[in-house]
Amino acid sequence: MPRYALKIEYHGKPFAGWQKQRNVPSVQQAIEEALQKLEPECAGIQGAGRTDAGVHAYAQVAHVDLAGDWQAYRLSEALNYHLKPHPIAILEAAKVHDDFHARFDAVEREYTFRLLSRRAPAAHEAGLVWQVKHPLDVPAMQEAAAHLIGKHDFTTFRSTFCQAQSPVKTLDVLNIQEQPAMGGTEYRFTIRARSFLHNQVRSFVGTLERVGSGRWEPVDVKHALEAENRAQCGPVCPPHGLYLAKVSYNDDPFLVSGI
């Protein structure tokens, strides 16, 4: 039975998250229902990672086993047809080796967080950014972020509902850039690691915003990290500015040919 990788873009607002759940819409369920229009016996898909309610994706990756020998282009076109009107798009499909696993083969995940600073309400970007009314100090936030880079016990930045066996993770990148936005400034956070704890990225951004606004000093983030205490975390920011931007593999499934 051939296995296919799918690169998926979606707007998270209408969904209770990636993972299929009872009585609520999910991205996984919508894609599986589209797949079952093509092959009614399709067992389901496995994503590279779970995203929470309201979180978006530029490039989620999933794999699926299908009975038919599909051309990649035709598979993506057929799925996009059946996914209407959901705000989900299959950007690419690729036939992969039978042992490829979207989740377990991933070597790094990259998230983007968009934070908009302006006083006027966001009309076009509503639901796509977290908006604050005050400017932020990027050098102070970057100084604070440096304390988070590397291997740490991230209990402070971990949801109490997190099911990971260990709070120890290695954070590879946490960069903040600012760019002009209509009527204000957009701050883009780029966060990369092999894997993340539940709510870890949103906890980082909410805490760093507190530094950027001047309510915390950069060293306060170091103290919060070392406390290994969830109560020492800054506020968890809302989900709608968060995007799963990239999932990396040693062998990019969308570049491999000859399968």
172 is catalytic: no
Q: DSSP string covering 153-164, please?
A: E-GGGS-TT---
CA distances from 230 to 87, 211, 226, 239 (A): 34, 17, 11, 19
Residue 146 amino acid letter? A
Query: Rounded distance, CA 257 to CA 106, Å?
Result: 19
CA distance 143 to 175: 10
79 beta partners: none
> Residue 68's CB: how many other CB atoms inside 10 A?
13
Question: Do the strands 184-193 and 106-117 form a parallel or antiparallel pair, or are they unpaired?
Answer: antiparallel
Residue of 52, 99, 220, 252 with catalytic role: 52
Looking at residue 103, the DSSP 8-state letter turns out to be T
ω into 253 cis (within 30 of 0): no
Q: Is 115 helix (H, G, I), strand (E, B) or coil?
A: strand
Rounded CA-CA distance 160/157 in Å is: 9
Q: What's the rounded Cα separation, in Å, for the pair 60 and 43?
A: 19
Q: Which of 110, 246, 119 is nearest to 181 (CA)?
A: 119
Active site residues: 52
